[in-house]
Structure 1
Amino acid sequence: MPITLDKKLPAVDILNNENIFVMDDKRASNQDIRPIEVLIVNLMPTKEATETQLLRYLSNTPLQINVDFLYMATHESKNTRPEHLQTFYKTFEDIKDKYYDGLIITGAPVEKLPFDEVDYWEELSQIFDWKHNHVYSTLHLCWGAQAGLYYKYGIDKVKIGYKLSGVYSQKVVERLSPLMRSFDDFFLSPHSRHTEVLESDILNRTNLQILAKGDQVGLSILSSRDMREVYSFGHLEYDRDTLGKEYLRDSKLNKKTAIPVNYFPKDDPEQEPELRWSLAASTFFTNWLNYAVYQETPYRLEDLERDSSYYGYL
């Protein structure tokens, strides 16, 4: 089954050209099933690119999925046209009475700021509170993962001292987790950040499982044992050229910007990067949708209101 989207969304044409099956909302209304409801809180500046990246992997499943996009009403987006947000996005006020099987909170280019100084932190905190009774499983990505850990456990991010940018190897350390099913012992993933979360903080202050980590990247993927909270510090969703675009952007501001590690062939920015993480990305997002969302979420999403066990998960 396909992912269901507004047929005017720019990502639809891109995905159709890649032979990824998407269904417009009119056709989907005739399907006699209960589709999976997913909310994407898109905090990235290049929202249209992030939409396509995430939808590409969410589409790789036999499940029918309805997707809503949400933006921060308290933040002025400088890189996305207002008409795009008005047409395809919702605000928290629009969805606060809805229920979702899954929630994705993306990264954001604000990691150098203290969380409390991010201009939409109060609004995002409302979403963190709201999701307890309105969402079954939440997937936090990069800064979204750091923000989720800070809000729930008080664990702050730590500056690395340089930008961790490149394609790095990670080792699966918790093979029994369904989220790691079908992974090889090692997999590659892009990372792009200036900060990290310390493993000692996770071990000492939470009961989260460490599913994958790497010598260069540190922690990579964490999860609660019931998979209702998942944290990924990399960017498995990135396109082939995303790190390259970030490098060109940064190098215009600082000529000493380091070339992303293990990314351009022979470290030559003139050459096309090799795509080496797509299989891991597809496996990870499919596992999340299947094992953390579809097989566990209640048929009646309204029952989440009565699921008090959520508050005590570990």
Structure 2
Amino acid sequence: MPIRIPNGLPAVAALETEGVMVMDDEQPVWEHKRPLRFGLLNLMPNKIKTEIQIARLLGATPLQIELTLIKITHYSPKNTPTDHLVSFYHDWAEVRAQKFDGFIVTGAPVETLPFDKVSYWDELVKIFDWTQTNVHSCLNICWGAQAAMHRFHGMPKYELSKKAFGVFPHYSMEARSPYLQGFSDEVHIPVSRWTEMRSADIPPNSGVSVLMESPETGMCLVHDPKHHSLHMFNHIEYDSYTLADEYFRDRASGREIDVPKHYFPDDSDKLAPTNRWRGHAHLLFGNWIAQIYQTTPTEVSRIGIDR
């Protein structure tokens, strides 16, 4: 089944070359089932790459999905052409009256700042609160996951002495979770962050459960049923070369950075990395979408009312 995304978005050409079925805004909606409506609040600096990564995973599922690209209303990103934002993105203020089956909040390059020092924190708080009435299920990624856990549970984040950077083995803590259906016992997932949250800080009686974690980098995937959310603290959506791009970018800028662990063969940055997480990325998104499909209201207007 296809994903329906804005006509002309650069992701269209990239996904079509990979065999992902894509519909644009001018093609008719299939009538026998309504499409699932997904919103992507894209806070990443390279928005086009992130669009492709997320749309690839959403578009690989056997359901028709409409993707709406969203940005912070009162913040102007510096790394994305203005014409791209004008053509394809909606301010959150424009869509706040709408309802979505699924909603994704990405990471952002602000993780070492205190939450309340992030320039768009006040609006993001409003967005998180809005998801509780206008979204059926959320997936928050990396800093987005930390921000959500801080908003909903008051959890602190801790700055690391060295960046958690590489592809680390993770293990299931809740093998029977529907979100982990089909997962291997050991799952390799990209990690790229300067901060962490700790399971010891999860409030008792919060209903939050850790689904996956790593002995080296801690919590990875957390289920927060009271807030209809999954929190992914790492980057299972990354492309094969995303960590390499980050590594070579930081090295070129003179920033002290180690070679990402367990990523390049023999830890040699002269060799092409091997993607060991792609299959599990598709599984996670497929399982999440399947849960949404099975539980979301038939009528869009009932989202946030019928749970």
Q: Same fold (TM over 0.5)?
A: yes
Change (3 A) 1:265 1:224: same
- Cα deviation for residue 228 of structure 1 reads 1.7
Runs of 4+ with deviation above 4 angstroms:
none
Paired position in structure 2 for 1:194:
194
* Contact in 1 for aligned 2:132/2:228 (Cα 8 Å): no
- Cα deviation for residue 32 of structure 1 reads 3.8
Amino acid at match of 2:296: T
Higher mean C-alpha displacement, 196-205 vs 165-174: 196-205
- Cα deviation for residue 114 of structure 1 reads 0.4
Amino acid at match of 2:202: I
Paired position in structure 1 for 2:107:
107
Change (3 A) 1:73 1:295: same
Amino acid at match of 2:294: Q
Paired position in structure 1 for 2:19:
19
Cα distance in 2 between the residues matched to 1:70 and 1:301: 19
Change (3 A) 1:126 1:203: closer
- Cα deviation for residue 193 of structure 1 reads 0.2
Paired position in structure 2 for 1:182:
182
Change (3 A) 1:62 1:226: farther
Amino acid at match of 2:297: P
Amino acid at match of 1:251: R
Change (3 A) 1:71 1:219: same
Paired position in structure 1 for 2:293:
294
Cα distance in 2 between the residues matched to 1:153 and 1:125: 13
CA deviations over 1:81-104 (Å, ceiling 9, x no partner): 001000000011210110000000
Amino acid at match of 2:84: H
**Aligned-pair Cα RMSD in Å:** 1.5
User: SS of 1:130's equivalent?
Assistant: helix
* Contact in 1 for aligned 2:99/2:135 (Cα 8 Å): yes
- Cα deviation for residue 205 of structure 1 reads 6.5
- Cα deviation for residue 225 of structure 1 reads 4.2
CA deviations over 1:167-218 (Å, ceiling 9, x no partner): 0000011011100100011100001001111110125473211101110110
2:250 paired with 1:250: yes
- Cα deviation for residue 131 of structure 1 reads 1.1
Cα distance in 1 between the residues matched to 2:100 and 2:44: 21
Spell out the pairing of 1:159-174 with structure 2 (5 A cutoff). 159-174=159-174
* Contact in 1 for aligned 2:136/2:304 (Cα 8 Å): no
Paired position in structure 2 for 1:275:
275
* Contact in 2 for aligned 1:153/1:205 (Cα 8 Å): no
Structure 2: gaps (5+ residues): none
User: SS of 2:237's equivalent?
Assistant: coil
Paired residue total: 307
Structure 1: gaps (5+ residues): 310-314
* Contact in 2 for aligned 1:111/1:195 (Cα 8 Å): yes
CA deviations over 1:105-126 (Å, ceiling 9, x no partner): 0000100000000001111111
User: SS of 1:247's equivalent?
Assistant: helix
User: SS of 1:246's equivalent?
Assistant: helix
Paired position in structure 2 for 1:228:
228
The normalised TM-score by structure 1 is 0.94
CA deviations over 1:232-256 (Å, ceiling 9, x no partner): 1110100000000100111123353
CA deviations over 1:234-290 (Å, ceiling 9, x no partner): 101000000001001111233531000011112221211111100110100000111
Cα distance in 2 between the residues matched to 1:259 and 1:173: 29
Paired position in structure 2 for 1:306:
305
- Cα deviation for residue 227 of structure 1 reads 8.1
- Cα deviation for residue 306 of structure 1 reads 3.4
- Cα deviation for residue 226 of structure 1 reads 7.0
The normalised TM-score by structure 2 is 0.96
Amino acid at match of 1:248: F
Cα distance in 1 between the residues matched to 2:11 and 2:228: 28
CA deviations over 1:19-38 (Å, ceiling 9, x no partner): 11111222243544210000
Change (3 A) 1:21 1:305: closer
Change (3 A) 1:300 1:263: same
* Contact in 1 for aligned 2:110/2:118 (Cα 8 Å): yes
* Contact in 2 for aligned 1:99/1:134 (Cα 8 Å): yes
Cα distance in 2 between the residues matched to 1:233 and 1:201: 15
Spell out the pairing of 1:2-81 with structure 2 (5 A cutoff). 2-29=2-29, 31-81=31-81
